[in-house]
């Protein structure tokens, strides 16, 4: 899994952090949580605000379903 796997990351975050409202998570925490996903292979400096926002929005979609 890499930074471009937005939907897969969102699903994983939903499973690993049940009950957490995605929009309440700061990007610094979101970044750390993504790096902690066991199958995640992206480099820590491979993200940016646009990518983190896309992941957060995908996570929100998963959370609301």
Output the domain CATH number for residue 16: 1.10.10.600
49 falls within a domain = yes
Q: Is residue 1 situated within a structural domain?
A: no
Nearest to 1 by CA among 10, 53, 63, 60: 10
Tell me, yes or no, whether 24 lies in a domain: yes
CB 40 within 8 A of CB 9: yes
Range of the domain at 50: 6-64
Residue 18 lies in a domain: yes
Query: How many domains in the chain?
Result: 1
Whether residue 65 has pLDDT greater than 90: no
Residue range 23-47, pLDDT digits in tens: 999 999 999 999 999 999 999 999 9
**Mean pLDDT score across all residues of the chain:** 96
């Amino acid at each position: 899994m890499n930074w471009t796997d937005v939907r897969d990351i969102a699903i994983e975050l939903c499973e690993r952090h049940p009950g957490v409202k995605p929009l309440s998570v700061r990007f610094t925490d979101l970044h750390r949580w993504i790096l902690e996903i066991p199958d995640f292979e992206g480099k820590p400096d491979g993200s940016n605000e646009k990518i983190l926002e896309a992941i957060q929005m995908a996570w929100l979609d998963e959370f609301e379903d």
